[in-house]
Each structure stands twice: as structure tokens, then as C-alpha cells.
Structure 1
Amino acid sequence: MRKLARRLGLNKYTVWRWRILVFSIIGSSISSASFSGIIEADETYQRESRKGSREWVRHFADPQNVPRPPRPRWEDFTTQGLKMMRGLSSWQLPILTVADRGGSRLFRRLPNRKSATVERAMKPLVPDDAVLCSDGGTGYRNLAAARQLEHFVVGSKPGKRVASGYYHNQNVNSLHACYKRFIKPFCDPASKNLSGYIRWLEMRLEGIRPAELVRAS
């Protein structure tokens, strides 16, 4: 924000308001990606962030009437020596990533990591004649069984990353790395704006400028 504000000769808060305005447009837009052939699917995760939230400030100001927020502040894990939750938890937000060998790509934030949620999100994306490559997640297995799809389960350990010499998840793994590089400079953006950031990345990969979408809207 500061770098762009200096470049444009504007106040940083003006630039921030512009970003939020763009997010309000692109965050609700739907990717036009369609998939066929060999389809790879997996999830990556983004740590929950409540930047801009006043819940802890309100709690400290009036602890009798404002309940304690449901989780510690991230800074408390280092300043107070709290133990970080191991593995995945409710504070890790799932992002579904899908890709096929034709170059179609999709990122989509999911409300939770339940298998039924994954299966529901994948249903409209996978045609009946597709071949699905995924990890051993129950949501993918249930989808493949219900639709009678050919399904190859691939792992992350050496020797298990490729099935039958051709089926793998390397394209979505590349998308995960792309997402991590994209989101890192924003230093854990507020989760309420995460859909906007995800769609922003999709548009960059698709070669669409935000201004083009604004004019189209």
C-alpha cells in the first residue's frame, strides 16, 4: 500500500479503499474455468487472520460484558509461550485447487474441510468422462464412487507421487506454490478479504486486468 501510494502520489488509505472496492467486485465473480480429461484436485490452507477485528480490544475494555474471543491472538503464541496447534485445525482455512492438463485452473475458498463440503464443491467441476487425480480424501473418493469416475490416488512421498506412470498431482502442487508466493507479501491478509485475494490471483494467471472486469460490470 505504501509503495503504491508513493508511486501514485496518494494517501495510503485511499489506495487501500480502492483495493477493497475492487475486492467487492472481483470477490463475488465466478471463475469461468471448465475442466476435462485428467483433472487434478487438492487443497491448500491459509492461516486465519482477523486483522482489523476489534474483538480483543473490546474484550479487554469490558471483559465483564464482552466474551473472550474463541482463540488467542497469533502474537500470544510467541509472547506468552502458548503451544501452537499441530497439524490442521479450525484456524486453517481450506482453499480448493483444481487443474487439468489443458491449462484450466481454479482456486476456491471452502467454508470448512469436511469431506461433504469438498464433494459438493467438486461436483459441478468434474464431467462424467473425466479421470480424477487426488489424495485419499474421503470427499474425492465419494465423488468418484457416486459418479463412477476413474480415480487415481497419489501421495506426497517419493514413489507415490505418480500412479500408473502418468497420473499425478504436480499441476495443483505448482498452484499451491504459486499461491504461497502470491500471498506472502501481504503478511496474512484478513480472512474476510481472502476471497478477493484468491480471485485476484486467478485473474493474474488468466491475464485479466481488474479494470477490464470493472468496466464489464
Structure 2
Amino acid sequence: MKTAFRNLLNHIKKIDPRQQEQLFWTLKNTLFPIVQTGTLVDEMRETRFAEGFVCPHCTCEFVVRFGKYKGRQRYRCKACRKTFNDLTNTPMHGTHYPKYWAEFIKLMFEGYSLRKCEQILGIKWVTLFYWRHKILNALKEIEVDGFEGIVEMDETYFLYSEKGSKSISGRKGRKRGGVSKFRGISREQVCVLVARDRSKQTVSKVTCMGRIIKSKVEETIGHLLDSDKILCTDAWRAYMTYAKDKGMEHYRINTSKTGHVIKGIYHIQNVNGYHARLSHWIDRFKGVATKYLDNYLAWFQFLDMKGFDATTSNIKEVFVSTSLCEHYSTNQQIRQSKLVI
């Protein structure tokens, strides 16, 4: 038995790297199988229609079975007369390979590039690009319930990017992200506002171009803040005037005057740590098109909350929670999307 095993190992060493990789994924999926997409669809259906089966088009309760299409049960609404199935108005709607979605979500957790996912799944990377953004568009719709107690808030900046665009006006194209032609913070940089409480509830969104102003703070996150919260920020004046107008208790962290911590508990170290992790993670993409930046912020926010673990429960949560948003984008809508700030 030992001799046969050694012979097998020797044979594996002799085959080409591509075959070795295929063998690796075959063994991994056999020994450590993930939850099947069919099972996830069943769980999604139960969660989505927990309060009763309704039409996703008009929310009418008068729904009847209406045959099957490609092996999947189809329904028809008696009110609007439209047909639908379990995946209608979800990111999976209209895709040709639904059985691969669970595996693709797992590969997203593990940080594989689209090219590598193409090798593993046998699906073109362009198709997987649209899959990714259908998932992220839905993740972006999920908002935190609210903040509690001390809320840390600070902004970080990314260089404005038109990555993937065939025509760029006003400047030359950059390579691998590039650098700004201006020093410091300028209108060439995109401001991302991050707010985070001590229970790690986090909001991170694209806010404006250049330095943040008071009105943009209110527009981005004002609905989650009130006078009961305690705000911790750096010394930028926009935060001071915002907190004053809101009637919030406010601690300004000016390291040259107050140090990094006030009274032992008021600081912005959690949000600054989040910035560092976000910047390091997003560097791997060698530049992200600004119109898709909110999608990537939502992706990182979810990964950071889940510890980047590709567990069965986390895969289920992505699948079910994104399906509950009833958010569906076509490939053309994703391709032609624009960022409005």
C-alpha cells in the first residue's frame, strides 16, 4: 500500500502543472465539498417567502404553479399575469450556470482572480465579472441597522479611475493604478467616508471628490446618527461643524494636542485600522474603476465582518441575503453604470 502511494506521488510530480492544478481542485471538492447551489436555493426560497408566497413583480398573493422551465418550477401571478421562478429578481436571475454560483462565492471569499476562477470553473472570466458585480450590487443594498454609543468617523482617499474605459478625456491613461499628478488631497481623488462603532457596525461609501464637506457627511450617513451618539473624528473642521449642528457630543483627535486617545476611550484607531486593511486589500486589484468602487467597498465590508472565512455558513449568508434584496442588474446595466457624486 505504501509503495503504491509513493508511486502515485511520483506520478503526480511528472504531470504538467495544469493537470496538477486540476487534480488539486478535484480532490479538494471531493474531500471538502461545499453546500450545493440547489440546497441554497431551497433555503433562499424559504427565507424569501417566510411570510407567504407572493409575486416578486406586484407582491400579489394569488400565485399558481405554471409548469417547469429548464427543470425549474415556474409560477404565474393571477393579478399581473407575469411568470417567475425562485430566482426572479435575484442576482442569479437569467444566468446559464446556476449550479456554479456556490463555488464562485467560495472562490470570491478566498480571493481568487477572475482569470483563476475561469480555470477552476471553466466559465469565461467576462461572465464571472458580471456575476461578481451582480452579487456586489445586491450586497451594497444591505445596510446596517444603526450605530450604538461611540461612533468613529474618518475618510480615506482613492485616485479617480476610469479603468476599462476605451476613451479617457483630459488626461493620459494610467497603468496599474498610477499616481496623482497633484500633491496632497485634490479633486483628482475620491473621498470614501468610513464610520464604525465599537460593535464593529460599519458603513463605508464613496462620498465626493476631494476634501469632504459637512453636507456630504449628512447626505452619506446622517440618517444613522443622532444626538444620542458620541462622535470621534480627526481635527478636520467639517466634522466639528457637523457634530455641532447635530447636537452630538464630539471628540476631535488632534495628535499634536490631545494625543491619540482622549480620556482613555475616545479615539479613531478602529476606523484607521479599517482603512489600513481596506487599502492593503484593494491594492491587489491594481486599480478599481471609480464607478465600481462602492461595490468593492461593500464586498470588503462583508469580508472583514466575516473574517474572510469561506465557511459554509458565510457562503449561505451571501447567497440568501443578496437574494432577499430583490435586486437584479443586467450585464448592460453593469457595463454602462455611472457613479453620481
| TM-score with structure 1 setting the length | 0.81
Corresponding position: 1:211 with 2:323: no
Aligned counterpart in structure 2 of residue 85 of structure 1, from 182, 185, 204: 182
Structure 1 pair 18–129 and aligned structure 2 pair: CA distance change class (3 A): same
CA RMSD of aligned residues (A): 2.5
Secondary structure, counterpart of 1:49 in structure 2: coil
Secondary structure, counterpart of 2:220 in structure 1: helix
Aligned residue pairs total 200
Secondary structure, counterpart of 1:85 in structure 2: coil
Query: Is contact 1:117-1:139 (8 Å) kept?
Result: no
Which residue pairs with 2:271 in the alignment?
172
Letter in 2 for 1:37: G
Corresponding position: 1:36 with 2:148: yes
Instruction: Report which stretch shifted further, 160-169 or 117-126.
Output: 117-126
Which 5+ residue runs of structure 1 have no aligned equivalent?
Answer: 57-68
Secondary structure, counterpart of 1:162 in structure 2: coil
Query: Is contact 1:46-1:93 (8 Å) kept?
Result: yes
Aligned counterparts, 1:59-78, within 5 A: 69-75=169-175
Distance 2:159 2:180 in 1: 16
Which residue pairs with 1:123 in the alignment?
222
Secondary structure, counterpart of 1:167 in structure 2: coil
Corresponding position: 1:15 with 2:132: no
Corresponding position: 1:188 with 2:296: no
Query: Is contact 1:132-1:144 (8 Å) kept?
Result: yes
Moved over 6 A (4+): none
Which residue pairs with 1:99 in the alignment?
196
Distance 2:322 2:249 in 1: 40
Distance 1:38 1:83 in 2: 35
Larger radius of gyration, structure 1 or 2?
Answer: 2
Q: CA offset at residue 183 of structure 1?
A: 0.9
Distance 2:203 2:272 in 1: 13
Distance 1:20 1:102 in 2: 28
Q: CA offset at residue 96 of structure 1?
A: 0.8
Structure 1 pair 25–130 and aligned structure 2 pair: CA distance change class (3 A): closer
Query: Is contact 1:39-1:133 (8 Å) kept?
Result: yes
Corresponding position: 1:53 with 2:165: yes
Letter in 1 for 2:144: S
Instruction: Give deviations 1:164-194, integer Å, cap 9, x for gaps.
Output: 3321100100110121122111111111111
Distance 1:72 1:156 in 2: 39
Query: Is contact 1:115-1:137 (8 Å) kept?
Result: no
Q: CA offset at residue 21 of structure 1?
A: 2.4
Secondary structure, counterpart of 1:39 in structure 2: strand
Instruction: Give deviations 1:91-128, integer Å, cap 9, x for gaps.
Output: 21111111111221121111332332124334222221
| TM-score with structure 2 setting the length | 0.53
Secondary structure, counterpart of 1:110 in structure 2: strand
Letter in 1 for 2:284: P
Structure 1 pair 83–38 and aligned structure 2 pair: CA distance change class (3 A): closer
Which residue pairs with 1:61 in the alignment?
none
Query: Is contact 1:119-1:142 (8 Å) kept?
Result: no
Q: CA offset at residue 133 of structure 1?
A: 0.6
Secondary structure, counterpart of 1:144 in structure 2: helix
Secondary structure, counterpart of 2:296 in structure 1: helix
Secondary structure, counterpart of 1:176 in structure 2: helix
Query: Is contact 1:45-1:95 (8 Å) kept?
Result: yes
Higher relative contact order (CA 8 A, sep 6+): 1
Letter in 2 for 1:162: V
